[in-house]
A and B are shown apart, each in its own frame.
Chain A
Amino acid sequence: MNVIATNRDIGDTTVVDISGRITLGEGSALLRTLVRQLLDQGHKFIVLNLADVSYIDSSGIGELVSSFTAAKKEGGELKLLNLTKKVHDLLLITKLFTVFDVHDDEEKAIASFAR
């Protein structure tokens, strides 16, 4: 497995801890399936904890964007937590840092949702 994801529910927020590589194929597909499932189940507030994501390619970036817009469409929000330097730099150069709400503190990320 290139990527592993586990969910934790904290109040009305779901924190998804992801580890590994979010790349074309398995990694992107897993993220897509997981976020769609959460939204289908009525989870509106989602935090993706990327602390252990070692690598992400353009397909993975695209999947983050897709998840972000899917959450918005369902009246929810998706936020990013604990970016590694590589992911941080990728979001900076692709200007997506201005799109995503990025946090480095889980409690603050959870508290920041507009309820």
Chain B
Amino acid sequence: MGRLTQRIEVTLDTLLESVDLAEDITLRVAEIAGFDEEHRYRIGMSVREAVINAYEYGNVHDRTRHIYLVFELLAAELVIHVRDQGRGFRLEDVPDPLAEENLLKTSGRGLFLIRAFMDQLRVVFAPAGGAEVIMSKRLPAPQSSVSAGAGEG
């Protein structure tokens, strides 16, 4: 179990601009967490996709609702929660975008991309209502500046 070291909470308005904002914040958090550029891109896109879902399908563009973004930087992983104020959904009810009949659909790939880019993905019905997408990524191994066998004597 990782020790909780940092927690950041952001409340976003249900606006198109919030999608870019969420991604920008995520890229910054991922940089602080030590992820390289490729992993920052993947984590940023995963949050982007979760916020798009919240904006489009959870809050259905309703500006009176909010999107809640939480980053937990633990000792071994970065855990990110994206919660909307919609009706919620079950991950197993989301159609597989790789199925032959869905390949030419113009939507429905967001959660698939999150699953591809993150280590873990869960969707729960949040106690306060709405869907809560919970994703996590293991932190990169710390870079050691001391070569093997060159420890303090």
Contacts and interface: CB of A to CB of B under 8 A. Distances in A.
Interface of A: 23-25, 57-59, 61-63, 65-66, 68-69, 86, 90, 93-96, 98-99
Given A25-B16, A99-B103, 16 more contacts: A23-B20, A58-B107, A58-B110, A58-B113, A59-B107, A62-B105, A62-B106, A62-B107, A65-B105, A68-B104, A86-B41, A93-B113, A94-B97, A95-B98, A95-B103, A99-B104
B52 A58 contact: yes
A24 B106 contact: no
Given A65-B104, A94-B98, A99-B104, A58 B19 contact: no
B102 to A, nearest CB: 10
Interface of B: 16, 19-20, 41, 45, 48-49, 52, 97-98, 103-107, 109-110, 112-113, 116
A57 B104 contact: no
Give the dominant DSSP class at B's interface. helix
A25 B41 CA distance: 19
Nearest to A56: B45
Nearest to B116: A93
A59 B105 CA distance: 11
B16 A94 contact: no
Nearest to B41: A86
A66 B109 CA distance: 14
B103 A62 contact: no
